[in-house]
Amino acid sequence: MTPEQYARAVLPLSAALWAGKRSMATYATQTLEIANGGYGKRYYRTIGLYDGASLAASCKRYERLVRIGAGRLRTFGLGAVFTPEQLRGRGYASTMIGMLLDAGREAGFDAAFLYSDIRPQFYEDLGFRVQPSRTITLRTDTLAKARVEIARLDDSDWGDVRRAFSGLDRKRTWSFMRTPLVWDWVRMRLRHGSEHMRGAEANFVLRERGAVRAYVLGMRVPERDSYVVDEFGYSSDRAAALVQLLLRGAAGDLRRITGWLPPDAARRLLPRGIVRDRREAIFMIAPLSDLGTWWCKLASRASDADGAWATDHI
């Protein structure tokens, strides 16, 4: 189904689940903006399953490359799986997902993935496997403290941010790759603020000699006395020590820093904190090839770090 059909038929029904703090008009406008952007036109689709003339189930499908060492895996994600209330319990969503997995396998994809907000068992029955999905909470005063000047991330900083991300990314066991189109998608979604039900966007950088040495993407949520981290990075090994200073500065007078447990290379920069399993956005992989099975096994071995940043979620 076209994005416009999806916006008319599905969004009014799913708004209560996923619109968050956005109005219905904003929810629809932002969904169409993603679909009609550079990344969306090439790698993002809105899917509908019909029973006759009736829309029985729907979802979003988007493609990502996964890097493991020098290897590349073709994968696709599924999101916003939805069945109208009066049609639930008839197997429509299961049929739709099964068809998408079969089509992906035939097209040469190595795996599918998703972030489950409902019982994972539903997706496990369709071939998905639960992966480590955790949160971490730190007291702000446990982070290193020094006099530094941080600044709001500016549009002119994104080139440095991309380079800093790439440097840290090379140290990771595996990652979702970020092409220029994917970066445009990430920036659009950050501007939308659609991943958080509350709070205000608060992205910061720490500069030295005019260049970004560390960055953090996140939200300030005063009612929870927390700064919620979506992602952070640094430009060099020497700059790694700046991450704790930047996070502390970003939190300001908020007592807690929280967010998804970072990937391996980034996790080592933080104190132990309190780590808990997530109740939402549970990461799951469905292998579709031998390479996909390898990725699934590799991802499941993570003991003290998770595999993806919150910015990779949709």
Domains by residue range for the chain, with CATH: 3-133+278-312 (3.40.630.30), 135-277 (3.40.630.30)
Q: What is the pLDDT of residue 216?
A: 97
Q: Are strands 134-139 and 200-201 parallel, antiparallel or unpaired?
A: unpaired
| Residues facing 55 on adjacent strands | 50
Q: What is the pLDDT of residues 16-25, one digit of tens each?
A: 888 888 899 9
Tell me if 97 sits within 8 A of 59, measured CB to CB: yes
Q: What is the pLDDT of residues 232-257, one digit of tens each?
A: 999 988 899 999 999 999 999 999 99
Q: What is the pLDDT of residues 259-295, one digit of tens each?
A: 999 999 899 999 999 999 999 999 999 999 999 999 9
Give the separation between CA 312 and CA 288, rounded to whole angstroms.
21
